[in-house]
Amino acid sequence: MEYTGGGEQNSLRGKVFKQLLDDILNGKYKPGETLVESRLADELGVSRTPIREALKQLELEGLVTPLANRRVVVEGVTQRDIDDIYVIRKAIEGIAARWATEHISESQLEELRHIVDLEEFFTQKGDMDKVEELDREFHNMIFQASNSKPLRFILSNFHQFVKKARRDSLMVKGRMNKTLEEHRAILKALEDKDPDEAEKAMIRHISGAEENYTAHRHN
């Protein structure tokens, strides 16, 4: 399961929100660009109501700022946002990995093994889109295994920042192989029921992603 701040994934508002969110994160709508409610409704083939509701959600998440006449300006994800999110991820995902060693079920461990095996397959194929998807599933499974509603809630409130940082990091040459190696280390710590090593392995993993993101940014 992927936690998303917009909620109501199967509702029209949820679908419109997800589309606009993806368009902002993928750079279709760039920071400083003005979006007009009526134009977006025409482009997506929906009424203005779900557009208005989705824009309000994007505003709450800090991704757009309202203007007059049913318009918003795109704020996007800033470099400061990305820098902050790595600090936050090390803290909360380290805790999640530690707690997961105490609560993870055998079925969840088996699912993590399956994810990592698939990751190896698609890494060898060089399929970054699939590796990105599996990376997201790996981390979400650990959040679920931590058995902590507050941690899952925190994740739901910064998923958009994590998504952009994750993809930018994986784009660096060699990062997919390194990610696979780091995931295997986390999995082993969970299998060994070693909370200290699970937390350390997760922090090393996120630090590695941060270093690769920085390298990508400066290329």
Tens digits of per-residue pLDDT, 126-167?
Answer: 998 899 899 989 999 999 999 999 888 887 666 666 766 666
Tell me the pLDDT tens digit for each residue of 65-107: 999 999 999 998 777 887 888 898 899 999 999 999 999 999 9
Distances, alpha carbon 69 to alpha carbons 20, 47, 49, 115, in Å = 19, 17, 15, 47
**Quick one: pLDDT at residue 9?**
43
Dig out the tokens for 154 from the structure. 């925190």
Give the torsion through C-alpha atoms of 200, 133, 52, 72, to 10 deg: 70
**Quick one: pLDDT at residue 83?**
85
Q: Determine contact, residues 181/208, Cβ cutoff 8 Å.
A: no
Residue 48 has pLDDT above 80, yes or no: yes
Q: pLDDT tier at 168 (50, 70, 90 boundaries)?
A: low
Lateral strand order in the sheet of 34-36: 34-36, 71-74, 64-66
What is the overall mean pLDDT for the chain?
87
Q: Which domains does the chain have, with CATH numbers?
A: 12-74 (1.10.10.10), 79-218 (1.20.120.530)
Q: Determine contact, residues 168/67, Cβ cutoff 8 Å.
A: no
Q: Across the strands, what pairs with 64?
A: 74
What percentage of residues in the chain have a pLDDT greater than 90? 58
Q: pLDDT tier at 2 (50, 70, 90 boundaries)?
A: very low
**Quick one: pLDDT at residue 37?**
95
Q: Which residue bears the tokens 């994160």?
A: 25
Q: Which residue bears the tokens 């295997």?
A: 184
Residue 4 has pLDDT above 60, yes or no: no
**Quick one: pLDDT at residue 116?**
98
Dig out the tokens for 215 from the structure. 């390298």
Task: Provide the H-helix boundaries in the chain.
Answer: 12-25, 37-44, 48-60, 79-103, 106-125, 128-145, 149-156, 159-170, 175-191, 195-218
